[in-house]
Amino acid sequence: MNRRAPVDRGPLPAKVAAIAALPPLAQVETIRQGIATQVFEQIATAIGVGKETLARKLHINPQTLRKRKSRMLSADEAEKSLRVARVFGLASEVLGSEDNARQWVNDQIPALGGRRPLELLDTDVCAQEVTNLLQCLKWGMYA
């Protein structure tokens, strides 16, 4: 793992963490009702990247986010945003701190084929691989 000095960008806001921790059916309802674009910005800040960088990684058009009049994320954008928040929350738990999680999601990880976890969170399939790796680390199943 390529280690960089941690960047203190601030914690995942409690409201975002609470949404990400909801049971799956409650998350679906929240996604369908919509979440504010501000939540997307808070997630980007918490993981230590700019909102435009996060948008590109998730295949969300950054210009669309800037120009959106409703200031609400679409269901697809909200789902991707909460996926990042859930993985970041799990990484924080497994790795012991948000600073460690922030560094880990932005580092190239050999067990993920040298890819950065953040680059794999645009799809459920890849996000599940990242989650599986974190679970293995949590239970000491990966060296």
Within a domain: 3: no
Output the pTM of the full model. Answer: 0.86
Residue pLDDT, tens place only, 55-70: 999 999 988 888 877 7
The DSSP secondary-structure symbol of 36 reads: B
Inside any domain, residue 9: no
How many domains does the chain contain in total?
1
**Does a structural domain hold residue 1?**
no
Task: Judge whether residue 11 has pLDDT over 90.
Answer: no
Burial of 125 (0-12, 13-18, 19+ CB in 10 A): exposed
Asked if 31 contacts 124 with a C-beta cutoff of 8 angstroms, the reply is no
Question: Is residue 8 a part of any domain in this protein?
Answer: no
Task: Dig out the tokens for 84 from the structure.
Answer: 């990042």
SS3 (DSSP) at 72: strand
| Residue 130 placed within a domain | yes
Question: Is the pLDDT confidence value at 7 over 70?
Answer: no
Residue 62: which domain range? 14-138
Query: Which residue, 97, 77, 85, 94, is CA-closest to 13?
Result: 85
